[in-house]
Structures are given as C-alpha cells and as structure tokens.
C-alpha cells in the first residue's frame, strides 16, 4: 500500500498561532499545553492518525490578540520556536474591537501586519503556512453588520494564501454552510467563540485540508 499523501512531512514542528480561538484554555505555565479547543483536537487526531510522521505541536495563541498584537510577540512566540509549519488564525478581534471599543484597524494595516508575520517566518525559517480565515456566525442583526469590516479581512487572507503558496482553510465558508444544517447557536456561543461542536468541526476541516483523514 502506498503512503497517504499529506501536506505535513516527517518530523514537522507545527505551530498554532492566533487569538482566543486558538488559545482556548491552554496552560501558559506549560509550553507543551495545546488547550482544549480546535487546535488541541486537531493535534491529537493528527498524532493518532499519522503516528509515523513524528509530529510536534505547539500552541501560542493569546486571547484578545489582533494581528498587530500577534506581530508584537512574533519573535518569542513563533520564530524562536523554529516551526516548520505555521497555522495562523487572526483577524476577528481587529473587527470586534471596532464595534466593542471603537478601536479601528484599517484593512491596509491588517494586511501589513499579516504580511510581516509571513515574510519573517519565510525568510528566517522557510516555514510553510496554513492560513485559516477569520470567521463570523452572527447571532444578532447588530453582529451581522460586522460583515462590512470582516469580509475585506477575509479577502486579504485568501489573497495572501495564494501569494505565499499557503494552504487556505476557508473557515468562514465552512461555518456559513454549517449554519444551514444547524443554526449558528449549534456552532458558536457568541458569533465568534465556538461550542464543542464548532471546535470539532474546525479541527476536522483543518485535518481534511491537510490530507490527514480519518
């Protein structure tokens, strides 16, 4: 039987990076802690399904982070770990803070921060990328209006994925389709943060996108 092809290769060091969606309860005092959200689920299943790859996983997501805040800690929380693969999900807080706190980050600034993350990791580490779209599952009409701010950021991630030869996980499309099957409340508690089912769905999508099928 020929080996199953996957984006990941033997000995890869995979870093999950982003905001609370990735952070999700990880123990900051334990560098090996992966949290109990989608990133931890994906890492556990990847190890179970492809043990021969000898993969190592790290989670350095920080709740509340915008793209600029991820950039501020990128040296210590990404480059210093020398990952071979970086999975990045960031952007919804750039939108959230506009509506909750009046802190506006332009789409141009968001792209500049995001591009700086990719450039440094490619130049310093020659890392490969998995870019996860920021997403929104509106629970209210007011939250639905956030689309005008978030959709251009999603477009940035899609464009950068193409430009940098990254794997794109179309998470916003994934959840839009999922809400047709079951309402938004099945997948999210507040339009952004995920229920157990939502975390499971995103983890499965990450694995499927990388070719690590069950």
The model's pLDDT over 4-59, given as tens digits with 9 standing for 90+, comes to 668 999 999 999 999 999 999 999 999 999 999 999 999 999 999 999 999 999 99
Nearest Cα to 94, choosing from 43, 153, 140?
A: 153
| Angle in degrees, CA 90, 172, 191, rounded to 5 | 80
The model's pLDDT over 78-123, given as tens digits with 9 standing for 90+, comes to 999 999 999 999 999 999 999 999 999 999 999 999 999 999 999 9
Sign of CA dihedral 207, 211, 212, 214: positive
> Can you give the pLDDT at residue 4?
60
Helices and strands in the chain, H and E counts: 11, 5
Interatomic CA distance for residues 24 and 36, integer angstroms = 6
CB 117 within 8 A of CB 88: yes
Nearest Cα to 158, choosing from 134, 126, 188, 190?
A: 134
DSSP category for residue 133:
P
CB 13 within 8 A of CB 59: no
> What is the pLDDT averaged over residues 136-147?
95
At 154, is the secondary structure helix, strand, or coil?
helix
* Backbone φ/ψ region at 82: left (φ over 0), alpha (ψ -120 to 50), beta: left
110 CB burial (10 A radius; 0-12, 13-18, 19+): buried
Structure tokens that stand for 28 in this block: 């900051």
Interatomic CA distance for residues 149 and 146, integer angstroms = 6
> What is the pLDDT averaged over residues 154-159?
98
Sign of CA dihedral 91, 135, 111, 18: positive
68 CB burial (10 A radius; 0-12, 13-18, 19+): middle
pLDDT-derived band of residue 2, with 50, 70 and 90 as boundaries?
very low
Nearest Cα to 37, choosing from 188, 199, 190?
A: 199
> Can you give the pLDDT at residue 116?
98
First vs last C-alpha separation in the chain: 17
User: Taking 90 as the threshold, does the pLDDT of residue 213 lie above it?
Assistant: no
**Residue-averaged pLDDT of the chain:** 96
> Can you give the pLDDT at residue 65?
97
pLDDT-derived band of residue 1, with 50, 70 and 90 as boundaries?
very low
pTM for this one? 0.95
């Amino acid at each position: 039987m020929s080996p199953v092809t996957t984006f990941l290769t033997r000995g890869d060091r995979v870093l999950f990076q982003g905001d609370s969606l990735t952070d999700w309860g990880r123990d900051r005092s334990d560098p090996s802690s992966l949290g109990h959200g989608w990133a931890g689920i994906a890492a556990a299943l990847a190890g179970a399904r492809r043990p021969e790859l000898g993969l190592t996983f790290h989670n350095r997501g920080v709740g509340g982070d915008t793209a600029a805040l991820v950039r501020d800690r990128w040296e210590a929380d990404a480059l210093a770990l020398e990952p071979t693969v970086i999975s990045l999900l960031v952007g919804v807080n750039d939108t959230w803070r506009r509506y909750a706190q009046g802190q506006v980050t332009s789409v141009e600034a968001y792209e500049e921060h995001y591009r700086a993350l990719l450039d440094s990791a490619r130049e310093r580490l020659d890392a490969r990328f998995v870019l996860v779209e920021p997403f929104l599952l509106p629970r209210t009409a007011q939250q639905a209006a956030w689309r005008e701010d978030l959709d251009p950021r999603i477009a940035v991630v899609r464009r950068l994925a193409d430009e940098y030869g990254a794997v794109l996980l179309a998470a916003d499309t994934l959840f839009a389709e999922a809400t047709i099957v079951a309402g938004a409340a099945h997948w999210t508690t507040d339009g952004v943060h995920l229920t157990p089912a939502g975390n499971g769905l995103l983890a499965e999508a990450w694995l499927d996108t990388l070719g690590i099928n069950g």
